[in-house]
Amino acid sequence: MLEIVSFTLGPAQTNAYLVADSETKEAVVIDPSWDGQLILEAAQKRGWRIGHLWYTHAHFDHIGGAGAIADALNPLPLVALHPNDHVLWRAGGGGSLFGFDIDPGPEPTIDFVHGMKLRLGSMEFEVRFTPGHTTGHCILYVASAHVCFCGDLIFAGSVGRTDLPGGNWDALVKSIKEQIYTLPDNTRLLSGHGLETTVHEEKLNNPFVSS
């Protein structure tokens, strides 16, 4: 069974998701936003092994906890990110713009590709390429669990900003319409900031992108 532990951490109140197959105890962290030791403790308490870190995109507030998690793990977790965001990752996630200097942790070695399937125990995650907030932004969809980890693409009643380097409004709208609004209505959307929502709710009420 897919188990999800959510955290809201750091200077931008960014959601991190510790996700595990409760049978095999294999775990990943989707966007280890900040305070990695807290995420690590939550995994250890449950007997889960964090093998991977998956990044929706490389902004500093989504990866700021990676260094602390990796420092405590042997072997090191494997990091996955879309190659279009590697430049941003190397630039510390753009943190210097906001006065933050993060420990970025291990170098990404798995390149996200649209349509790629990732396994966690018996669960399958589908990578969907969703540029707009950054040029390499991706979301992770688990059809069997009716859940989508959507980073800073869409939020409850809002959407990701496009005024930072690499942002593109038209691309963001296209990504939402083609990759979010095409998912089943009952799909839970777990975003990078704010509360959980659903595809149905956003198609009806999102004031920025109508369906």
* Site residues (vs Zn ion, CB under 5 A): 59, 152, 192
CB of 153 closer than 8 Å to CB of 133? yes
Residue 109 CA to residue 129 CA, distance in Å, equals 17
Question: Please, what is the minimum distance in Å from the beta carbon of residue 46 to Zn ion?
Answer: 26
> Of 43, 61, 113, which is closest to residue 52 (Cα–Cα)?
43
Question: Please, what is the minimum distance in Å from the beta carbon of residue 152 to Zn ion?
Answer: 4
Question: Please, what is the minimum distance in Å from the beta carbon of residue 160 to Zn ion?
Answer: 6
Question: Please, what is the minimum distance in Å from the beta carbon of residue 192 to Zn ion?
Answer: 4
Beta carbons within 8 Å of 30's beta carbon, 6+ residues apart: 16, 17, 19, 54, 55, 56, 140, 149
Select 88 or 147, whichever has its Cβ closest to Zn ion.
88
Question: Please, what is the minimum distance in Å from the beta carbon of residue 170 to Zn ion?
Answer: 18
CB of 9 closer than 8 Å to CB of 35? yes
Alpha carbon 68 to its chain centroid, in Å, reads 18
Q: How is residue 22 annotated by DSSP? A: T
Amino acid at 83: P
By Cβ distance, which residue is nearest to Zn ion? Answer: 59
Residue 104 CA to residue 89 CA, distance in Å, equals 8
Select 59 or 82, whichever has its Cβ closest to Zn ion.
59
Select 9 or 123, whichever has its Cβ closest to Zn ion.
9
Select 21 or 152, whichever has its Cβ closest to Zn ion.
152
Select 48 or 62, whichever has its Cβ closest to Zn ion.
62
